[in-house]
Chains A and B, each alone.
Chain A
Amino acid sequence: MTVQTLLADLSLMTPELILAIGAMVLLMVGVFAGKDELKVARLVSWLAIGLLAAAAIASMLLSTGVSTTAFEGAFIHDTFSLYAKSAIYLAAIVAMILAINYLETEKLARFEYPVLIVLAVTGMSLMVSSNDLMTLYLGLEMQSLALYILAAFNRDSQRASEAGLKYFVLGALSSGLLLYGASLVYGFAGGTSFAAIAAAAESDPDSLGLLFGLVFLLSGLAFKVSAAPFHMWTPDVYEGAPTPVAAFFATAPKLAAMVLIARVLTEPFAAMADQWQQIVIVLAILSMGIGAFGALMQSNIKRLMAYSSIANMGYVLVGLASGTQIGVWAVLLYMTLYIVGVAGTFGVILSMRRSEGMVERVEDLSGLAQTNPGLGLAITGLLLSIGGMPFLVGFFGKLFVFYAAVEAGLIWLAVVGALFSIVSISYYLAILKRVWFDEPRGEFLPAPAGVAAVTRIAGLSTVVLLPFVALLFAQVIRAGGGIGG
């Protein structure tokens, strides 16, 4: 490998380099910048936001429209991964903005938090660019290890520690499954690169060994997107982890893992579409069902959002089950709109602060439309958008995952999804009932500026985006056109 090729390869991963080197620098800054812990944490947080913004800009500038690989094919650089990266960085920035103030008031402000976020994002970046089982596992673990710590970041809280431990133990189990699947695939395909696996799958689509490996791989990945039946950790972790951490969990890592699943299924295992389609369908139906019915019983809004995310991942998998290019870009569209909705909703949850502290029961939202009309309108738009209700922008995500399924001949799956959406809309309505119909029970304290801005912007975008949603379509279609088919 000459220096030229090395430099060329490295230039393709500029965003990752920015983040990885930046994380090290931030660590140094955190250690040596001064004694005042609060000030240092704030400084590092804003530096981390700047770092993520730089990475986002880099990933947008790098976009050339052609697909190239680096490091002997281990790392892929295409419109699909670049779109995902931009979205992940932006989601991480929003998660950071949501976190800063919360951490300070909850006495959790430590500079490790932004560093861990940046490290997790680096891992996600690698995941969406992986073109080899090695890179895949590397990225996934890098992400997961940072997330385990983040879940238990409030180490004095029993619930947070429990959440972190639970997440770690189950996550380690799923990583084990994934690794076992990867080794099976390696054994039967004779290589770890996606190209080698694709060739092996093509030559023998009915290979039992590959199929076995694929099932384990998929199980491990399904854990990361919290698709049922690998969803058990989600409600507990969402509830136990500090709220901004849950907001982060619900956005960027979900997108990264979903994009990774889409790539693994439609590139190396494209030839085995008939086989994995059945698995994805089962995952989709279970997720939609468990998510919809599980959320009905919840009184804690963070747990409810956890079940809602399980259900929403089910809808994304409906799109993926089609196995077509439309399915791939529908996944991107759905995930993007979903992230906007979830980020805003967590903004609302972070605004639920009374003089006695944070509250997180659904009934604490009672009368919000009267005590704080802006917030009331925002959560209405956001929840209905997550629920895929027209005329809010989230409807388009649902429309096109169903379209992808129908177009691929899976009309019945779309019908099942539509029927579950009746159940899931009813728990969003149950929240709106609190917000609009019930009488107020005390006001919330004014939200910090960052949180308020995120809530307002995300809430407005659910309606204002409607005339301009074509721009988003152009992006996701361009990105989704890069893989699968």
Chain B
Amino acid sequence: MLGQLPILTTITFLPGLGAIAILVLRALMRKEDGASMERNAKGVALFVTLFVLALTALLMVEFDPSVAGFQFVEEAAWLAEVGISYRMGVDGLSVLFVLLTAMLMPICILASWKLEKRVAEYMAAFLLLEMLVIGLFCALDLILFYILFEGSLIPMFLIIGVWGGQNRIYAAFKFFLFTFAGSVLMLIAMITMYAQAGTTDITQLLTYEFGRTAQMWMWLAFFASFAVKMPMWPVHTWLPDAHVQAPTAGSVILAGILLKLGGYGFLRFSLPMFPQASEFFAPMVFALSVIAIVYTSLVAFRQTDIKKLIAYSSIAHMGYVTIGVFTMTELGVQGAIYQMFSHGLVSGALFLCVGVIYDRFHTRDIGFYGGLVHKMPVFAVFFGLFAMANVGLPGTSGFIGEIMVMTGAFQVAPWVAAGAALGVIGSAMYMLTMYKKVVFGELTNTKLEVATDLNAREWINLGVLAVLAIYLGFFSTPITDMTEASVNALINQYQGALAAPVQ
């Protein structure tokens, strides 16, 4: 049934239509009735994101996990004169990210329900972001991918800069310029590929063999973009600033989805298109990842701002992803995807938890809090659960991703697995310390006396994520089944390319 419907196009552009609808609504109703316009804007945004989620669920049902290639492929002439087309399609590597995006978006809208400042633009920016991000996961054309990848900076720049905290302008510029600087180099590499291979079709580029030297340069250019996006040490410094300043929902999207673009990019482009270069640079990636894991864990331990602590912890967790991807073992790559999906849920939930207390007390300073468990027991349970999931406690989704990555790494380079294991200790150290300071102990700060526990909206948001985090902690097959065929095909192709002689 879905074969005939352009479902990917629908999922992608529906949020865009929603954004336009909100802006039109705003233009029409601005003068008369601000409050009802804002209510309508929220309603439209929630409805559209939920509808997209429903369509994505349909897509997941129809998706055939046993096929390694692209499914639901759509193709339309766009710039026929220069060989650029509108091509969409998903495979096991990308479909989960579409799902993750579609899942987190309604949660973000709900989390921003109490927003009062420039509501219509806010909702429109989020819908625009959803459109660009879903589109880039589906894009099967190099230029189309780049347009959506780079375009996603614009709404995020506005979200941080308009609705962010005290130092939001610095953070917004840093976010934009860091990522922009990385991706212009990638653009040149893409143009080089376009000029050499004569096509921008990703399915064709996947099998095109570039020369060894060219691979090295292009790999580095792509790395410049994805490493910043990831973010990897030492180009991670934009992330703590962006996270601290972004509004809660912005942080959720940033950690939950935008950080995954780097990992997805490595899997989609760097490995299959530049196998020799990936093999050559893998030790460097391992080294950087291990440094990131150890270093950022230590940095996280010293933070006094809860959001900053979670931001640093995200960098450490993304270190596992890069390790997993570059082990090029089935277990490692699957683990990396698992880790990304799980991190999307868990870090998103952690930022929501911070949002819960920030909404009540307007501070993220760890020293301010203490003894919240007495006033907010339900919150304490949820926060504890997600903190544990972030640490990687068995029974939560975080554990499975990490153990898969480390096993994969052990098969390739035991020293990497050893380094990664340090991160597990580190994350337990900073997460538990923070949790203890915020939640346990005596309630000494009198300002906390007025604390109220979760409301219905927060219950729904955190509840859904908690169920998923635990479910995926016990049952890994819903994810691994999806990715298995595509990952195997990727690894076979990679090993085949390495075995073949190149000039």
Q: Point out residues on A near B: beta carbons under 8 Å.
A: 369-370, 373-374, 377, 384, 389-391, 395, 399-400, 402-403, 406-407, 411, 414-415, 418-419, 421-422, 425-426, 429, 432-433, 436-437, 467, 469-470, 473-474, 477
Contacts and interface: CB of A to CB of B under 8 A. Distances in A.
A130 B322 CA distance: 58
B47 interface: no
Nearest to B185: A418
Given A415-B185, A422-B181, A433-B161, A473 B191 contact: no
Given A402-B191, A470-B81, 11 more contacts: A373-B23, A389-B150, A390-B151, A399-B143, A402-B188, A406-B188, A419-B184, A422-B184, A437-B162, A437-B168, A470-B79
B132 interface: yes
Contact of A473 (B79, B146, B150, B180): B79
Interface string B149-186: 01101100110011000001100110011001100110
B148 interface: yes
A389 B121 CA distance: 20
A433 B169 contact: yes
Interface string B84-124: 00000000000000000000000000000000001001000
Given A470-B81, A473-B79, A477-B81, A437 B172 contact: yes
A314 to B, nearest CB: 15
Contacts of B5: none
Interface string B15-41: 000000001001100100000000000
A166 to B, nearest CB: 35
Interface residues of B, number: 41
A407 B195 contact: yes
Contacts of A473: 79, 81-82
A474 B30 CA distance: 41
A414 B191 contact: yes
A384 B154 contact: yes
Nearest to B128: A391
A374 B27 contact: yes
Nearest to A476: B81
A429 B157 contact: yes
A391 to B, nearest CB: 4
Contacts of A469: 79
A384 B79 CA distance: 21
B192 A437 contact: no
Contacts of A406: 188, 191-192, 195
A-B pairs, 5 with minimum CB distance: A391-B151, A418-B184, A390-B147, A390-B150, A407-B195
Interface in B49-89: 77-82
B332 to A, nearest CB: 33
Nearest to A392: B151
Contacts of B194: 403
A436 B180 contact: no
A390 B154 CA distance: 9
Interface in B449-469: none
B187 interface: yes
13 contacts: A373-B23, A373-B121, A389-B151, A402-B187, A406-B188, A407-B195, A414-B191, A415-B188, A418-B185, A422-B181, A426-B177, A433-B161, A473-B82
Contact of B184 (A374, A391, A421): A421
Nearest to A402: B191
Contacts of A407: 195
A414 B23 CA distance: 37
A364 to B, nearest CB: 18
Interface string B469-480: 000000000000
Contacts of A422: 177, 180-181, 184
